[in-house]
Amino acid sequence: MNSSKYNFQYFQGSSLSDLFAQDITEASYGFILNYPATGSWAAYPNRQKYFIQDGSSEATKTSFDKICQKEPWKNLAVLGDRIPGIVINPPSKSLLEYWQEHFGFKHSNIEMMDCSTYLDDLSHSERFDKLITLFPFDGLKPEKHAVDSDTHYRLLSKVALEELGVQCPKYKSYNLHQVNIEDIPLPQFPYLIKTSHGLSGEGTYIIKNPSDLNYCLEEIRKYLDIKLLDTIIVSEFVKNEVQNYCVQFYVNKGGEITLIGTTGQLVTPEGSYLGGVIDYRNTDMSKFFQMIANVGEYAHKQGYFGVIGFDVLEDQDGQFYAIDANFRVNGSTPLCLQRHTLLGLGKEVAKYSSSYRIEGALESILITLKPELDRKDLIILSALEKVKYGKIYTELYAIVTGETIEKMQYIEQQLQTKGLQLLP
């Protein structure tokens, strides 16, 4: 494949708002940093039109603290100062001061809103004409979405994969209101069943045997019972996988493409997303240029602008298969945005994870880990304090860095001796 016909360049900034800056000049934009949810705690559950599969029962739903605190805060950390970030739960003063010191943004653009009224307030707001979102909101007026909400929902569907113009595993989609789940023809094991709009690994089932299938069908029936699912896909399983990448870029309103970065993905055997590893110096994105061009062109034709991340599996024959495409800021986008900062410090390798934990309150952690934080061996994107059996601990979304992968692993071991745990 000849990639020389494309000359895509890396984004030179380090914030999300610098990425979007070129496209937000004609109106007043804000960025809603949280996903919609469907749990009973949500004031605006997405249960009307834009279904999101975030757990098939109250007990398994993605929790409030993840959707309204940890996840939005990590994007707020790297938002920059050119777009107001809409938050329904404020980060702690300690976290904010750490960000201001280490990321160099003022963070004066945090727009605190009441979680019980925010989507109504935004729908009728004169201050915000358009809102950038990770997923369309049932509770926000369609015309207030920066990308047409129906289009965005269609792009985010697992069904849209084969329209992107890239090689992907063969799959078939089924509307469960038109076909009985028992009547769907299933291939030989192993294969995948996916719900159309699963959140972060939820709704994806690797089927290797009859008991996997029974579990999956049970989950799908639960989603049908609570009326949060229309469509599933049954997909081939990519065999002999050697690498799992997330390829990220930005497509502007003119259809021009800027590279953000490529991470190797850390995924549990069950398929849950744990984080990403990046090699800023030695990742050659040109092998993905044709795929990027095709996905970018498709997105642009649909009227989309913003960040796109697509997941690619490489098999042992060097074939690339796109297995998912996320038309939104991705989990590891903040990791990619550290590129210039870390290369400037001679740090070429970094790893992002959303499952660190350390004993103590954030304020004391910032003192204990000050040498590592000052050297940017560790970068904290999100921190939430919790109490268990009377003991305070802090859950972190963080990046560990190093000059080489060995140095990074050594630094992580050193951090473990200071109490930083990586939860399985």
pLDDT of residue 57: 82
* Residue 134 to residue 79: CA distance in whole angstroms: 14
- The DSSP element (H or E) to which 120 belongs, if any, is helix 118-123
Residue 117's contacts (CB-CB under 8 Å, 6 or more residues apart) are 43
Instruction: Give residue 30's pLDDT.
Output: 98
Mean of per-residue pLDDT scores for the chain:
94
Distance CA 248, CA 177 (A): 34
Pairing assessment for the beta strands 171-175 and 349-359 based on DSSP bridges: unpaired
Per residue in 26-60, pLDDT (tens digit) is 999 999 999 998 888 889 988 899 888 887 788 78
Q: What is the mean pLDDT of residues 160-165?
A: 96
The residues, any chain, with a CB within 8 Å of residue 361's CB and separated by 6 or more, are 385, 392, 394
- Mean pLDDT value of segment 396-418: 95
Please say if the pLDDT value at position 4 is more than 50: yes
Cα 299 from Cα 304, distance rounded (Å): 5
- Per-residue pLDDT reduced to its tens digit, 179-192: 999 999 999 999 99
Express each pLDDT in 250-289 by its tens digit.
Answer: 999 999 999 999 999 766 677 666 678 999 999 999 999 9
Burial class (CB within 10 angstroms; exposed 0-12, middle 13-18, buried 19+) of 335? buried
Whether pLDDT at 3 is above 60: no
Query: What b-and-e string marks burial along 65-81, b requiring 16 or more CB atoms within 10 Å of the CB?
Result: ebbbbbbbbbbbbbbbe
Strands in 204-207's sheet, in edge-to-edge order, are 171-175, 231-236, 191-195, 204-207
List, for residues 198-230, the tens digit of each pLDDT value. 987 788 999 999 999 999 999 999 999 989 899
**DSSP helix/strand/coil, 36:** coil
Query: What pLDDT, on a 0 to 100 scale, did the predictor assign at position 1?
Result: 47
Query: What's the pLDDT score for residue 70?
Result: 95
Q: What percent of the chain has pLDDT over 90?
A: 85
Cβ contacts of 186 within 8 Å, gap of 6 or more: 207, 213, 234
Residue reference for tokens 């909101």: 137
Question: In this predicted model, what pLDDT tens digit does every residue of 345-375 receive, in sequence order?
Answer: 999 999 999 999 999 999 999 999 999 999 9
pLDDT tens, position by position, 130-142: 999 999 999 999 9
Q: What pLDDT, on the 0 to 100 scale, is given for residue 226?
A: 87
What is the model's pLDDT at position 273? 63
Q: What number is the average pLDDT over the span 305-309?
A: 98
Q: What whole-number distance in Å separates Cα of residue 202 and Cα of residue 204?
A: 6
Between 120 and 269, the higher pLDDT residue? 120
CA separation for the pair 314, 272 (Å, rounded): 18
404 phi-psi bin (left φ>0, alpha ψ -120 to 50, beta other)? beta
